[in-house]
Structure 1
Amino acid sequence: MIAMPASAGRSPVDDDLALETRIATIGYRLARGAQARCAVPEKMSGLILHDIGGYAQSDRAAIAKSLGLGDGFGVRAVVANGAAARAGVRAGDEIVAIDGGDLTGFARDAIGAAASFDRTERMVDYLAGALARGPVTIGIRRDGQALSLTLAGDAGCAARFAVAIEDGVNARADGRYIAVTSGLARLASRDDALAFAMAHEMAHILLGHVAARRAARDRVDVRAQELAADRLAVAIMADAGFAPAAAIPLLEAVSRGRIDWLDRDHPATAVRIAALRAVLAGDGSGVQHIGDDETGRRQ
């Protein structure tokens, strides 16, 4: 998992980096915790990256000067205790090589006049592929000095997280990305609560719901899918060391505020809360095995 800058068309410099890092950190923990539930885990770096192409052409000279960003890939932040942090990568570093291969000319065709994340996204894919083969040597430019660091990825579910700068309270998954709105992050002030919303979207991916809705939208029982995603979400939370019970106050806040996190096809919030209370009460064994049979793994 490598976190992405916020919504398309918005310069990463304008985003709330603290929020972006918070979501990346929660997502990293969830992805690591859920690795046994994934058909194909990937190696994660814990990097939040950007490049000069992510800024409008008119701003690039000023950005390059203020951030010291050249033709490589800048490190906006690193996930605490993640692979990159353990390797010694720091915010403000610029990655200029992987295993001796120069990155300053990498995917230059993706840089246009308008701000675009395309080049960094291609770098994210390239790095994930390299880490899948084993540890990599990354060339770093830091304060004018060249450094070489060894980066070994952490195994986790292939999930990428993005911040959407929106007042609405929402999270959504498209099968590749999980987007969390800034409005939802404000409402879920506790990390455990935000972890539930993010784990719920991850559960949709793991359970194949996104693909099922695309294939047969009119024939899918969305309410059943939502309840199944809730059940698996609290299991993923437990796997990652979050408190599953934090799901309840978040849903209660959604209910009190009549917030449209859910559309009309979703179960009523009261139904979700009641179902989760029953799951969490269980038989005294907590949530250790919740959802194991629903993914066909961890049995």
Structure 2
Amino acid sequence: MLSDRRLSRLFSLRALPSAGKLALVPAALLLAACATTTISPPEAGTSPRPAEQVARPAAPAVPTQEELSLKSLVAFQDRLYRVAAPLIINNSELCKANARNLLGFTAKNRFSYSPEYVGAAQKALGLGDRLQIMGVLDGSGAARAGVRPGDGIVAVEGQRLPEGENAERQAATILAPIVTGRSNVKLSLLREGGEVTVNVPLTFACAYGFELGNTDNVNAYSDGHRVLVTRGMMNFARTDDELAYVLAKEMAHNALSHSARQRTSATVGGVIDNLTRIRPDMSMMNGLAGIKPMPQDLDAMADKLAMYLLARANYRIDGAVPFWRRLATQYPPSTLNAYTALHPSTNYRISIMERTLKDVRAKQAAKKPIMP
């Protein structure tokens, strides 16, 4: 597991100029057995060719565990960003003070990963010293401007961006004042050996950081500014709609300042920081990890807002109730370190969701604004 650094959220789902981490989720992947080549014996009456003349196909390169883990990380991140994109872009009105301009893409170089993965990043992802576009937020100004994964970032508004080991930190310092007060930025990109210039409209969106948790417990956390989804929860969510139910719920807790009201921001923030480490300290996760279970009334408020966030992002909201029922059945409140242990009032939550679903459907039918 490895940590991304500051730029991943500076460019994408995180507000400028805040900093943070995005963690690699190592997968229990097995290396495929090496292929073997069988050479048939010579036909009768013929002499075998010299060994050096026998054509042997080159053995395929076997990826290292680091390369496999890195590809696993990229797959998790791509899914997380893809599902989060419509939620943050279509809900700036409901995020209140937590909405601002974003560049709308993620960018990394080989040093975006912890030292043991630098070589794998270069070999498996083709990353070098220059910052390179890894993903473009669907529906963002960057997507409309034609920014592509694989583009190298040369300069922003004529100011060249640094390369090498400290490129992310230095780029963050350069970009923060550039984007302040602007509606668009000019990017110089290296593409297919040539330099191109694109004008990128900034995207006004919910400015939450989205992180992957390096643990198999089925849970999600929010500290007022970030949303963390564990590897276990991402695997539990069978579809993108189901993952969106989790993201929307935690976004709603952030928008409603529930961690601040509960005075748990620091505690949850510590849990998030821990779970994004290469090797989380799981002794910190005993019991509820010091986090207070969410009161019924606050939980229901977040469920109501989440249904609106989902509807405005065009997710299938009628699947939310079955999803939360399935989660509560498989992981009841007695399951420590699971979502329902921190959100125990499932039946009450479902009653609010069912009522909200009717309200949203009525507004959609009447072509009224989808606002709570």
* TM bucket normalised to smaller: 0.7 to 0.9
Of 63-72 and 154-163, deviating more is 63-72
2:249 paired residue among 200, 215, 229: 200
What is aligned with 2:307? 234
CA contact (8 A) 1:73 1:120 kept: no
> Does 2:147 align with 1:89?
yes
1:126 paired residue among 160, 175, 185: 175
1:276 paired residue among 353, 356, 362: 353
Q: CA deviation at 1:122?
A: 6.4
Change (3 A) 1:105 1:122: closer
Of 61-70 and 31-40, deviating more is 61-70
Describe how 1:39-188 pairs up with structure 2 within 5 A. 39-40=96-97, 41-57=99-115, 59-60=117-118, 63-64=121-122, 67-104=125-162, 110=166, 119=168, 123=172, 126=175, 130=179, 132-188=181-237
> Does 2:78 align with 1:21?
yes
Between the aligned partners of 1:125 and 1:167, the Cα distance in structure 2 is: 37
Which amino acid in structure 1 is aligned with residue 225 of structure 2? R
Which amino acid in structure 2 is aligned with residue 91 of structure 1? P
SS in 1 for 2:344: coil
Between the aligned partners of 1:189 and 1:128, the Cα distance in structure 2 is: 41
What is aligned with 1:37? 94
**RCO comparison, higher one (Cα < 8 Å, 6+):** 1
Q: CA deviation at 1:55?
A: 2.6
Change (3 A) 1:73 1:156: same
Between the aligned partners of 2:22 and 2:312, the Cα distance in structure 1 is: 27
Q: CA deviation at 1:239?
A: 1.4
Change (3 A) 1:27 1:212: same
Q: CA RMSD in A?
A: 3.5
**Percent identity among equivalent residues?**
26
Q: CA deviation at 1:193?
A: 1.9
- Counting matched residue pairs gives 283
CA contact (8 A) 1:165 1:181 kept: yes
Unmatched 5+ residue regions in structure 2?
1-8, 15-20, 27-65, 268-290
CA contact (8 A) 1:42 1:158 kept: yes
What is aligned with 1:7? 23
Which amino acid in structure 2 is aligned with residue 227 of structure 1? A
CA contact (8 A) 1:31 1:157 kept: yes
Describe how 1:203-222 pairs up with structure 2 within 5 A. 203-214=252-263, 222=295
Change (3 A) 1:278 1:99: same
CA contact (8 A) 1:131 1:153 kept: no
Between the aligned partners of 2:219 and 2:299, the Cα distance in structure 1 is: 14
Change (3 A) 1:168 1:132: farther
Q: CA deviation at 1:65?
A: 5.8
2:239 paired residue among 190, 194, 205: 190
What is aligned with 1:266? 343
Between the aligned partners of 1:140 and 1:104, the Cα distance in structure 2 is: 13
TM-score, normalised with respect to structure 1: 0.79
Which amino acid in structure 2 is aligned with residue 43 of structure 1? N
TM-score, normalised with respect to structure 2: 0.65
Between the aligned partners of 1:42 and 1:132, the Cα distance in structure 2 is: 11
Instruction: Give the greater-gyration-radius structure (CA).
Output: 2
1:247 paired residue among 320, 331, 338: 320
Structure 1 residues 67-105: Cα deviation after superposition (integer angstroms, max 9, x where no partner): 443333222222334322221111122212111111115
